[in-house]
Amino acid sequence: MSPGMAAVIAAGVLRFVEFLFPAVATPIFTWHVTLSSQSQPYQFTLTAGQPLAAAVVVLLAVSNYLGVRMAGRFQVVLTSLKMVALVAIIIFGLLLGKIGGEASNTYITLGRSGLGSFLMILVPVMAAYNGFQSLGCIGEDVTNPQKNIPRAAIFGSLVVISLYMLVNWTYFRVLGLSRVAQSHHVASDTMVRLIGNNGAKWITVGMIISALGALHSNFLAYPRIPFAMARDGYFFAFAKRVQPLYRTPSGAIFFQACVAVLLVLTGTYQELYSFEMFAIWLFFALNAIALIRLRITEPELPRSYRVWGYPWTVLVFGIAGFAISLNL
């Protein structure tokens, strides 16, 4: 789940870089792998940009290796720049945007219908919203977690939802549904129409910074899980190593970096986010089951948080998680 998320974000960085430097999409070599479970050989293509994405993963891993406090400050800077870029797109869209072309009939020919189609559409949407659960992973590093984690989760989610909806409304308003669906660089293509190529390049740089911020937060949060598991004897012992000077979970950070590099060198953007969402939502559903089970088996256990609408909110969340994964 965690290295997969890092690989997805790094592959997303490549998409933005492609807009500025199309040459990074140039294939270096193609390899056809025959699998007994597949009627057609699997085509593996390594592009010039994939080693670049791997280097970005290593860079962000080293940043988190050098200390939690420095990593946290770096994250604040990246998040601020990310929000500035998104707000700029929204403002330009409001001031300069015109309604895009009408939607075509392309979207009637998906070959799926009803609930299955809706669940399939949710996969990239949930990939975009993914990260709302990250705060729990850094609970040991948060001051007064009983108050600060819920505040950050609620406020942060509301900010992300608002920005996500407003920026997508801007894309559809400027480009129209058909062009949004066909674009690999939606933000950049939107800005080309609004302020021309030069302005779009600056916004694309902002989107690259946005993706780097997401990747950085991934390395800030998720190595804490294999670290805690290893410390309790449930994972490989090397993951419980702590860097003596910077006090960071160095073993877990570099483990995540190595697996993420392997994934980003071998998978496409769509393959990576599909695999990642399958794993994440399957385990979200198992989390819901675990929560209900622990409430029953250990009713006297001290609990820092209450779940609104329990057990119905938890059941709905768990059913949605299983539905997304099984459909995918």
Largest CA distance in the chain: 62
In tens, the pLDDT along 49-66 reads 899 999 999 998 998 888
Burial-class residue 71 by CB neighbours within 10 Å (0-12, 13-18, 19+).
buried
In tens, the pLDDT along 178-222 reads 889 888 888 888 988 888 888 888 888 888 887 888 888 888 888
Cis, peptide link before residue 311, omega less than 30° from 0: yes
Q: Examine the pLDDT at 243 and tell me if it is beyond 60.
A: yes
Enter the tokens of residue 50.
Answer: 């994939």
Q: Examine the pLDDT at 318 and tell me if it is beyond 90.
A: yes
According to the model, what pLDDT value does residue 105 have? 47
- In terms of DSSP bridges, do strands 27-33 and 42-47 run parallel, antiparallel, or are they unpaired? antiparallel
Q: Name the band, by pLDDT with cuts 50, 70 and 90, for residue 71.
A: low
Query: Which top CATH class is 2-327?
Result: mainly alpha
Integer Cα distance of 290 and 115 in angstroms: 26
According to the model, what pLDDT value does residue 99 have? 61
Rounded percentage of the chain residues whose pLDDT exceeds 70? 94
Q: Examine the pLDDT at 68 and tell me if it is beyond 50.
A: yes
Mean pLDDT of the chain: 85
Integer Cα distance of 78 and 208 in angstroms: 10
According to the model, what pLDDT value does residue 108 have? 46
68 in Cβ contact with 43 (< 8 Å): no
According to the model, what pLDDT value does residue 293 have? 95
According to the model, what pLDDT value does residue 54 have? 93
- The residue among 78 and 256 whose pLDDT is bigger is 256
Domain boundaries, the chain: 2-327
Find, among 185, 260, 251, the residue nearest to 216 by Cα: 260
pTM for the model: 0.77
- The residue among 35 and 147 whose pLDDT is bigger is 147
In tens, the pLDDT along 288-317 reads 999 999 999 999 988 877 778 999 999 999
According to the model, what pLDDT value does residue 100 have? 59
